[in-house]
Amino acid sequence: MTAPLLKVDQLSKRFGGFIALDNIDLAVAEGERVGLIGPNGSGKSTLVNCICGTLHNDTGSVSFAGDSIDGLIAHERTRRGLARSFQLPRPFMSMTVAENIRVPLLYTVAARAGHHVSTAETKSRCMELLKLVALDHKAGKNPRDLTQVEMRKLELARAMAAEPKLLIADEAMAGLSHSEVEDIVALLIRLNERGITIILIEHIMRAVMNFSQRLVVLVSGKKIADGKPDDVIKDKDVIGAYLGQ
Amino acid sequence: MRTPLFIFWQFVVAAALFGLFRYIGNDYVFFAGYTVLEFIVLATAWNILGGYCGYVNFGSAGFFALGAYSTIFLYTVGQQADDIFPESMAQVTGLIFPLPLPVLIVFGGMVAGLVGLGMGYLTLRLRGVFFAIGTLALAVVLQTFIVNWSFVGGSRGAYVIPPNEIAVLGPYIQYLFLLMLLLVVVALTTARLIERSRLGYGFATIRDDELAAEACGVPTLRLKLIATVLSGALMGMAGAPFPFYIGYVEPGSAFDLSYAVNSIAMPMIGGTTMWAGPMIGAILLGTLQQLATVTISSAANLLIVGLLLIGFVIVAPNGIVGLWQKWIGSRWKS
Amino acid sequence: MDFNLLINAIIAGLMLGAFYAAVTAGISISFGMLDIVNIAHPAFILLGSYIAYIVNVELGVDPIIVSILVLPAFYLLGGAVYQIYYLSFEKYGQESLRGLAFFFGLLFVTEVCLLLIFGVDYRSVTAIYMGPSLRFWQLEFPLRLLVPALASVAMFLGLQVYLSRTFIGRAVMAVSQDPMALRLMAVDPTRIKRIAFGMSIATASMAGAFLIIIQPVIPSVGRDYIGRIFAICVLGGLGSLPGTLIAALLLGVIESITSVFYGPSWSPAVSFGLLLLTLAVRPSGLLGR
């Protein structure tokens, strides 16, 4: 049995007296498609922040591709192949859409390659990614001119630009129409077929069920279910805490 | 425009300016012009950290004074070489001292850059606000040390006696002016190079959203340190010739708050997003202040600077460059 | 070591520290709770000092009374400044660079205006408690320090009570932590912030009166206090009023001892050095959240 790509061990995080995450264990195998669901405030984004290094976990450890990444700062984890999109899109407002995509290309991909990537190649990879999310016609626009939906796509594209081994998509589909949700799910599945492991955090159950090979449920900072999607949604605790409402 | 061409054109403009001033023949234009050039360097240096990265430095005076006092230190060492060094080294010290001004400038830059590095390392991992307050703290702590350090004159101040004349050019001030012109070229070229490079993108992401920048793989701390060192070093280099310009330096004048205000006001009024902004702000405000000091009073001219800063920050946050860009209705970034 | 000297230095330091707490109270609110870096706070304090000076010299009114009388004016001034700040910067999320520059400009302009009006001569006030001291055994309590110190503590306690007991006060403490919750309670966070900022500037009025009782002032005195204020704020922990008081007393004592035993020329370095040290070692402060 091969080692998991991402291994989270007994991870805990508290804010003052509030326990946001309580001894979370999580293992994600390479190539897996994992869905992470749970009510608002259950700690999903906190978990993502701890995994990616934006927040420091109090106890527990995280390892990626076999190595512990506990001491690494966020950008180092991104360079190792861990990328995430933010729940509330955070585009760089002083740049165009295309330039936003260029940043991870310049700083993660080029750094990993160890050599200078030519401007032409960066530009073409940029346009490729924008085409993937259907934003190529807005390449020269400022993020301020994008709709909410387009900003979410930009957020996702920017995370993909870092050419990650593991991509964590944090509620990337909120506010999208039915067909747009299907498009994004299809896109993510295509990425997964290319070898990218994906953790999808979502509230849109239809998308989660279509996408996930495994479902993890977080409630009040605790993991209450972890298994096949069809089994998990039938779980009494899950229905009581989240689905049954 | 490629960088070598840019440098070439700067030299052309600089030479023309120098030639014009020589033609005018009045030493005063060199003295006044030196001040404006000094401001261009300070404003451009400030903008590398402030405008590009979004980290406000209130302690420009501290870095400037570090340059000035490194010069005073080395000058005093040179003056007292016979007392400080053993007899056997007399020949060597006779050759080294007095150190030529370009060497002093480089040394001043290195000292200021190193201090910037140290301070950055302490404060840059915190929020931008704490960095800003830290810079203020640094300036005061430095000033207190200098005030209590009698070797460089302490609160009594130090005298530096420049030669009256210099070979080829004539009046010494013209030599100082030339060196400052060179520093302007260095500063502007550095700023423009940064803008067009990967570093410039990195700086911009730090300014826009540091958290997202980290998530994109940008090593924010390292870049901020680079910006702080570059900015501090340039300010130190601007300060290094100051003792020779003014002849008598005491902590009050070297650490004067007007350096802090001007180095913030000039880029913010001129425009923080590109290399030309601080230069425009420096030329405008610099000349305005020269006029005001002569016609009204030096306190009044600082009042004008302060009011303009507040006004522009509220009404035209992208400065004069921003206003012009809006007026043209086009974008500069390709 | 001369114990008498040390004890009196500590006592003076404690009284000075209490005064520093009053000076910092405003920033504790604006920076600690509202996240507004009002680096111009010392300028408002100086404004308070000079107003107290004018009324004291012209009409002979006690400076502390003057400061209480002008409290409403300062409160309104604070509200106006916040409104400008909010409309120009906070609304657009530009407060880091532009906001700082704005307040820095304000600090500077205020200082220069005071300079142009009052000049560089030191100004001081006269009041019945300016001269004498209380003496117990070997301990000396100059009234010129003691009265402002006690008044500072009173103001500080009043502030603490207001913030923890009244609705508006608690809203102020909540606004930095959870503006959304406030909105859900039908309270406008902007209005609360305006009130809070007004309060912070109102404290400057009283702090200014205390200042000019303790020492003669010139406009540039404000700059010495920037370091003290932020050192205390950071050391005490942002947003914690009790922390501010403790840190202020600590700073007062350290400064006093340094001044007595090593000379006053090192004083400015004490507060700023302490600030740098705190930022480097424990940025959340002693009691910070």
The DSSP-derived string for B169-188 is TEEHHHHHHHHHHHHHHHHH
Rounding to the nearest 10 degrees, give the CA dihedral for residues C5, C8, C14, C19: -110
* pLDDT value for B219: 94
Scanning the structure block, which residue is given the tokens 């406000």?
B56
Which candidate, A214, A242, A216, places its Cα nearest to that of A44?
A216
In a domain, A114, yes or no: no
Mapped onto helix, strand or coil, the DSSP state of residue A90 is coil
Nearest CA in chain B to A96: B333
A230 lies in which domain range?
6-92+162-243
In a domain, A200, yes or no: yes
The 3-state secondary structure of B119-132, one letter per residue: HHHHHCCCCHHHHH
Whole-structure pTM value? 0.89
Domain boundaries, chain C: 3-22+40-221
In a domain, A80, yes or no: yes
In a domain, B333, yes or no: no
- pLDDT tens digits, A133-180: 888 898 889 998 998 888 888 998 999 999 999 999 988 887 788 888
Is it the case that residue A214 has pLDDT exceeding 90? yes
Is there a contact between B217 and A108 if contact means CB atoms under 8 Å apart? Answer: yes
Comparison of pLDDT for B238 and B87, the residue scoring more = B238
- pLDDT tens digits, C104-136: 999 989 988 998 899 888 888 888 777 777 787
Is there a contact between A99 and B201 if contact means CB atoms under 8 Å apart? Answer: yes
In a domain, B303, yes or no: yes
Residues of B in contact with A111 (CB under 8 A): 217
**Cα dihedral sign, C261-C266-C268-C269:** negative
In a domain, B282, yes or no: yes
Considering only the beta carbons, identify the residue of B208, B211, B217 that sits closest to A107: B217
Residue C161 one-letter amino acid: V
Q: What is the nearest CA distance from C80 to chain B, expressed in angstroms?
A: 14
Give percent of chain B above pLDDT 70: 99
* pLDDT value for A114: 75
The mean pLDDT value for C130-144 works out to 79
Contacts of B62 (CB under 8 A, 6+ apart): B115, B135, B138, B139, B142, B143, B255
* pLDDT value for C127: 80
Residues of B in contact with C230 (CB under 8 A): 133, 136-137
Bridge-based pairing of strands A59-64 and A6-15 is antiparallel
| CB contact B178 to C (< 8 Å) | no
Is it the case that residue C56 has pLDDT exceeding 80? yes
- Cβ(A149)–Cβ(A175) under 8 Å? yes
Considering only the beta carbons, identify the residue of C97, C105, C283 that sits closest to B54: C97
H-run or E-run covering A13: strand A6-15
Is there a contact between A108 and B204 if contact means CB atoms under 8 Å apart? Answer: no
| CB contact B262 to C (< 8 Å) | no
- pLDDT tens digits, C195-226: 999 999 999 999 999 999 998 998 888 888 88
- Cβ(B228)–Cβ(B134) under 8 Å? no
Is it the case that residue C289 has pLDDT exceeding 60? no
What number is the ipTM of this complex?
0.89
* pLDDT value for C95: 57
Is there a contact between C98 and B145 if contact means CB atoms under 8 Å apart? Answer: no
Residues of B in contact with A99 (CB under 8 A): 201, 333
Q: From CA C104, how far away is CA C43, in angstroms rounded?
A: 10
Q: What are phi and psi of A205, to 5 degrees?
A: -60, -40
Tokens read off for A193: 């077929």
In a domain, A115, yes or no: no
B244 lies in which domain range?
3-328
Tokens read off for B327: 């007026």
Q: What is the nearest CA distance from B313 to chain C, expressed in angstroms?
A: 6
Residue C73 one-letter amino acid: A
H-run or E-run covering A34: strand A33-37
With 0-12 / 13-18 / 19 or more C-beta atoms within 10 angstroms meaning exposed / middle / buried, residue B88 is exposed
Instruction: Determine which of A130-134, A237-241, C78-82 has the lowest per-residue pLDDT on average.
Output: A237-241
Q: From CA B104, how far away is CA C39, in angstroms rounded?
A: 35
* pLDDT value for A103: 92
The conformation of residue C30, written as its DSSP 8-state character, comes to: I
Confidence band (pLDDT; 50, 70, 90) for B334? very low
For chain B, what percentages of helix, strand and coil (3-state, to nearest 5) are there? 80, 0, 20
The DSSP-derived string for B261-315 is HHHHHHHHHH-SSSTHHHHHHHHHHHHHHHHHHHHS-HHHHHHHHHHHHHHHHHH
Residues of B in contact with C105 (CB under 8 A): 261, 265, 306-307, 309-310, 313
Mapped onto helix, strand or coil, the DSSP state of residue B1 is coil
**How many independent structural domains does chain A possess?**
1
The CATH number for B101's domain is: 1.10.3470
Is there a contact between B303 and C109 if contact means CB atoms under 8 Å apart? Answer: yes
In a domain, B334, yes or no: no
- pLDDT tens digits, A55-112: 888 899 999 998 999 989 999 999 999 999 998 899 999 899 999 999 999 898 888 8
**How many independent structural domains does chain B possess?**
1
Question: In angstroms, what CA-CA distances link C49 with B165, C14, C124?
Answer: 51, 22, 9
In a domain, A40, yes or no: yes
Selection from B131-145, B213-227, B288-302, C96-110 with the highest mean pLDDT = B213-227
Q: From CA C162, how far away is CA B136, in angstroms rounded?
A: 33
Which candidate, C288, C253, C280, places its Cα nearest to that of C12?
C253
In a domain, A125, yes or no: no
In a domain, B33, yes or no: yes
The CATH number for A18's domain is: 3.40.50.300
Confidence band (pLDDT; 50, 70, 90) for A244? low
Question: In angstroms, what CA-CA distances link B125 with B121, B137, B198, C228, C275?
Answer: 7, 16, 22, 22, 15
